Amino acid sequence: MEENLNNLDIIIYGAGAVGAYVCGWLTPIYNKVYLLARGKNAQVIKSKGLTLYQNSLDNKQVINVNVIEDLDEKPNATIVLIAVKNYDLEEAAKDIYSKLGDKPIIVALQNGVENQAILPKYFSKVIYGVIMISAWRNEPGVFGHRIKGYVIIGTLNNTLQAEMKDIKNSFSSGLKFRISQNIQDAIHTKLVFNLSNSILTLINHTEIDKESAPKFGHIYYRTLVEGINILEAAGFKEHRLPGLVPWSVLKKTTKESDEKSGTMVLNQLKGVGPNSMTQDIIIRQKAQSELEHLNGYLINLAKNLGILAPYNSTIYELCKFQFQKKPFKQIEVKEVWEIIRQKLN
């Protein structure tokens, strides 16, 4: 691969919040980035541009980006960054392979490890990315974010080092890339953070009263630390990801009073945008979510290790039940608390 990516076609496959932001940040520094979008999203971005803003629409920026609606429009693409979620990944992989074959380098930006089972069936050159960003879609063509993050990239067997350096060097003025030799640890470190997605979707944390705050803090931090304990038992190590609370701090927090934990987490969540699961279930009212690929994966890991996971299993079971209801309604923290307490006794 060349020392830089000049004149090579780069496709962002998926125009959700992550794909839109990656395209929006790369386009000003590289003019051969193409966003694969469809339907209303594609129409709006083509006609009005891609609207991105940080925290408030008062800070919006409109970027004219290259939009394609089919891979046939760019048959010689060198890199495809896949930004769809795991539940759409198999279909996306089939589409890419049927039109581009095994020629492009694939950069996978999904949460969790499901992509490691799907993508190698179709492609021999796969780079896995852990993207640190809190972003959401307001409406077609309009996306918000809280903090601009970066991407940790790596391969399962530490190959494609030259290719990853090219990506890092060519794109870093638009979006920072960091190469890791321990990508599995990075993926699983973010997985701990992703466990909170289900909690914040299931429980209405924006209207928690003083009495319920300690219970919420207890559930929140113990669910995450239970996840850490399972991953450590499986042999994974913490990979420092700036912006995420270190595991040692999370563990220490569970030794504090529930009152203090409740205050801490509610203060931490102020001003935070909707996470990806909340966007799927509450905002877009979709039937699909990442529940199986995040919480389900962790619970299966615990079962295989013979480890009990009362906090995560309760959140998982309640989410699975509640998410099927139409319309979905969040439940009170007291209800979750009682079920967990019964499991612990």
Buried b (16+ CB within 10 A) or exposed e, 161-197: eebbebbbebbeebbebbbbeebbbbbbbbbbbbbbb
pLDDT value for 270: 86
Q: Which domain holds residue 122?
A: 10-181
Q: Are residues 82 and 197 in the same domain?
A: no
Is 105 inside any structural domain?
yes
Sheet (strand 79-82) strand order: 66-68, 33-36, 10-13, 79-82, 105-108, 126-131, 150-154, 176-179
Residues 142 and 289 in one domain: no
Look at residue 2 and tell me if it is in a domain.
no
Domain boundary among 121, 153, 181: 181
Say yes or no: 163 and 226 in one domain. Answer: no
Residues 218 and 310 in one domain: yes
Are residue 125 and residue 239 in the same domain, yes or no?
no
Percent of the chain, pLDDT > 70?
98
- Per the domain annotation, does 130 fall within a domain? yes
Cα separation of 224 and 156, whole Å?
25
In a domain, 45, yes or no: yes
pLDDT in tens, 49-93: 999 999 899 989 999 999 999 999 999 999 999 999 999 999 999
Residue 4 lies in a domain: no
Same domain flag for 137 and 231: no
Angle at CA 323, nearest 5°, toward 320 and 327? 160
Q: Answer for the pair 79, 33: CB distance below 8 angstroms, yes or no.
A: no
Alpha carbons 190 and 160: distance in angstroms, whole number: 23
Could you count the other beta carbons within 10 Å of the beta carbon of residue 128?
A: 23
Which pLDDT score, from 0 to 100, does residue 4 have? 60
Within a domain: residue 5?
no
> Closest by alpha carbon to 182, among 236, 228, 232, 126?
236
CATH number at residue 258: 1.10.1040.10
pTM: 0.95
* pLDDT tens profile 231-282: 999 999 999 998 899 999 999 999 999 999 999 999 989 878 899 999 999 9
- Give the separation between CA 343 and CA 341, rounded to whole angstroms: 5
Q: What does the alpha-carbon distance between residue 152 and residue 216 come to, in Å, rounded to a whole number? A: 31
- Strand-pairing partners, residue 308, are none
Domain end point (choices 152, 181, 210): 181
In a domain? residue 1 = no
Of 146, 163, 181, which closes a domain?
181
What are the tens digits of pLDDT across the range 153-203? Answer: 999 999 999 999 999 999 999 999 999 999 999 999 999 999 999 999 999
DSSP character at residue 209: -
Number of domains the chain contains? 2
Question: Residues of the chain with pLDDT > 90: what percent?
Answer: 89
Torsion of CA 232, 236, 238, 242, to 10 degrees: -130
